[in-house]
Amino acid sequence: MWVAEMDFGIAPAVREALQWALDETLTGYPTKGLAEEVGAAAREFWSDTFKWEVAPEAVGVASDVLSVFKAAMSLLPEGAPVVVPTPAYMPFLFMPAWQGHPAVEVKSLLGEDGHYRLDLAGIAEAFQGGAGLLVLCNPWNPVGKCVGRDEFAGIETILERNPEVLVFSDEIHSPLVLEGEFHPFAEYSPLTKQRTVSATAASKGWNIPGLHCAQWVVPDPELREKLATPLKIFASGATPWGMYATVAAYRDSREWIQEVKAQIVANRETVREWLEKEPKDTPSRLTVHLPEATYLSWWETDGEILGPSPAKTLQEAGLIVNDGADLGRGFEHAFRLNLATTPEALAASLKIIETQFASERARD
């Protein structure tokens, strides 16, 4: 239940596109026209879904979102830190060091509503130390929320005070908004448009990550010019099959993803109902952040109910989840669990967690 892919197969239109490519023996290099078709399909989807209008020249293809992240980091001064709000998608914490940039973790805050919010003061302080890039994950993996426009305003203020700072916005889970609204960060204001490198893909929403076709969005011409060579160096390698699948996903598989989201919502409610049936002391010992976007859920314990390392405890019992320690300092008692699965698999997972809870209570 750890890896960020789904147990729902692929959309019929995506399967048909791949079968056609196989029948036509299209296993060579992709053409420029095919890459442009991906950009056009993506822009149509963003316009229809988010009312986000993107110019054709502002979009390109990449092998994956993380390759765009590498390209963005290549623009930083030597040794400039990268600011990463936590809990965070794991590679954002270890990849900066590969290019000589320390990752500065800024632990996010829990609001009165129980939802995580960016620690804007902590982020601002981090940039006083010479950091050059902010990583924004929106929708936010692993806590499953769309970052709000009020938080965008706070980031914009930080950009105003730090004229050399860029934002890398990972928006790969944006097709999987279950409730509420998603807003692209670059669309927020003229300043965010000028200073943002966005990356997304059909890979999470339509379950095609292994086909390698992401999209970068850089609206500002000057920033796009600076990134032209880094994108070729770091982000080339999108496959033709990934491109065919992406076009089919964005254009012909929108009903399918609605069915997928309905199943994720049903699974989310199953967890909510399970939590309500748990003993009354559970809320004080366990907090579960159920997603409003993405299919990932974030579980935080008191450090006792599942032991000091819940992920290790659960793995020994037969359930593999992401260890919170890998998603940021201070989250050693947390874990990430994927909800994009069958009701049967989810029920089996909850049974393992429940059994471990019962064992701990018996020891108490």
What's the CATH number where 310 sits?
Answer: 3.90.1150.10
Which pLDDT belongs to residue 362?
Answer: 67
- Give me the chain's average pLDDT, please: 96
User: Do residues 224 and 343 both lie within one domain?
Assistant: no
Measure Cα distances from 206 to 5, 235, 327 in Å. Answer: 9, 21, 25
Q: In this structure, are 345 and 285 located in the same domain?
A: yes
pLDDT at residue number 281: 67
Q: Do 150 and 212 fall into the same domain?
A: yes
| Residue 70 shares a structural domain with residue 200 | yes
Determine contact, residues 149/136, Cβ cutoff 8 Å. no
Q: When comparing pLDDT for 280 and 304, which is higher?
A: 304
Mean pLDDT of 297-310: 94
High-pLDDT (> 90) share of the chain, %: 93
Which pLDDT belongs to residue 317?
Answer: 97
Q: Show which of 253, 276, 293 is a domain's final residue.
A: 253
**Residue 146's pLDDT band (cuts 50, 70, 90):** very high
Mean pLDDT across 235-254: 97
- Which of 196, 219, 253 corresponds to the end of one domain? 253
- The Cα 94–Cα 300 span in angstroms is 22
Residue 285 lies in a domain: yes
Domain count, the chain: 2
Tell me the per-residue pLDDT of 80-90, one tens digit each, with 9 for 90 and over. 999 999 999 99
Q: What is the pLDDT, as a whole number, of residue 364?
A: 64
Average pLDDT estimate for 227-235: 96
Residue 279: predicted pLDDT: 75
Q: Does residue 50 lie within any of the structural domains?
A: yes
Question: What pLDDT sits at residue 278?
Answer: 77
Whether residue 123 is predicted with pLDDT greater than 90 in this model: the reply is yes
| Same-domain status, 149 and 271 | no
What CA–CA distance (Å, rounded) separates 239 from 227? 21
2 inside domain: no
Do both 282 and 185 map to the same domain?
no
pLDDT tops 90 at residue 282 = no
Is the same domain home to 79 and 184?
yes
pLDDT for 309? 96
pLDDT at 359: 81
Domain that holds residue 238: 12-253
pLDDT of 283 higher than 70: no
152 and 265, same domain (yes or no): no
Residue labelled with tokens 């965070």:
88
pLDDT at 351: 96
Residue 100 lies in a domain: yes
| pLDDT (0 to 100) of residue 284 | 74
**Domain boundary residue among 222, 253, 284?**
253
* Mean local confidence (pLDDT), 218-224: 98
Residues 189 and 287 in one domain: no
Using CA atoms, how far apart are residues 242 and 61, in angstroms rounded to an integer? 10
